[in-house]
């Protein structure tokens, strides 16, 4: 029985069941950061991170990848008129598709904004950016990556108000 247990642990490690670094916990880490750096009334436009930001960050989200190409400015204006602060959460590999879709059609579609937050996870590829769609410039916070994820299971945030 001990031999089977040792074999299972060795095989699990060989198949990266116990990843070194953030791995998929990166999504919860990013969502928690977004929840900490945005107001409770924020609405975050996102694609890959829409679900985790809503679940772990407790912020209302809108999927920009399904938003009509001509509606980005209208959506931002609509949120602002209702007292909601709009942000954009985007991975570096999503930037090209975002700017292709909205660039030239929207005042923020070219992403000529300074990101509010830039996060690169520990032993993960790519960089995550959070843009404040009401702020063109300013400092960019770069929190350090989390080398050890504690707790291993991130608790969900309270459900965001709509």
Residue 52 clears pLDDT 80, i.e. is over it: yes
Residue 20 clears pLDDT 70, i.e. is over it: no
Q: What is the total residue count of the chain?
A: 162
Average pLDDT, the chain: 89
DSSP string, 55-113: HHH--EEEEGGGS-TT-HHHHHHHHHHTT-EEEEEEEGGGHHHHHHHHTTTSSSTT--S
Query: Which residues lie closer than 8 Å to 62 by C-beta, 6 or more apart?
Result: 43, 44, 45, 46, 50, 75
Q: Which of 90-94, 141-145, 151-155 has the lowest mean pLDDT?
A: 151-155
> Do β-strands 85-91 and 128-132 pair in parallel, antiparallel, or remain unpaired?
antiparallel
Whole-structure pTM value: 0.83
pLDDT of residue 103: 93
Torsion sign across C-alpha atoms 99, 105, 106, 112: positive
- Residue 36 banded pLDDT, cuts 50, 70, 90: very high
pLDDT of residue 13: 78
pLDDT, tens digit, for every residue of 94-141? 999 999 999 999 999 999 999 999 998 777 778 999 999 999 898 898
pLDDT, tens digit, for every residue of 116-126? 999 987 777 78
pLDDT of residue 116: 95
């Amino acid at each position: 029985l001990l031999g089977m247990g040792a074999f299972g642990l060795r095989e699990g490690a060989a198949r990266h069941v116990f990843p070194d670094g953030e791995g998929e916990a990166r999504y919860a880490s990013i969502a928690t950061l977004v929840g900490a750096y945005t107001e409770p009334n924020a609405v975050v436009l996102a694609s890959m991170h829409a679900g985790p930001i809503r679940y772990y960050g407790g912020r209302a989200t809108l999927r920009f990848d399904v938003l009509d190409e001509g509606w980005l400015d209208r959506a931002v204006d609509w949120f602002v008129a209702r007292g909601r602060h709009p942000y954009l959460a985007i991975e570096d590999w999503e930037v090209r598709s975002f700017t292709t879709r909205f660039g030239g059609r929207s005042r923020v579609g070219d992403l000529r904004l300074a990101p509010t937050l830039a996060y690169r996870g520990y032993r993960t590829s790519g960089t995550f950016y959070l843009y404040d769609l009401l702020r063109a410039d300013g400092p960019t916070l770069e929190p350090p990556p989390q080398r050890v994820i504690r707790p291993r299971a991130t608790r969900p945030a309270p459900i965001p108000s709509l």
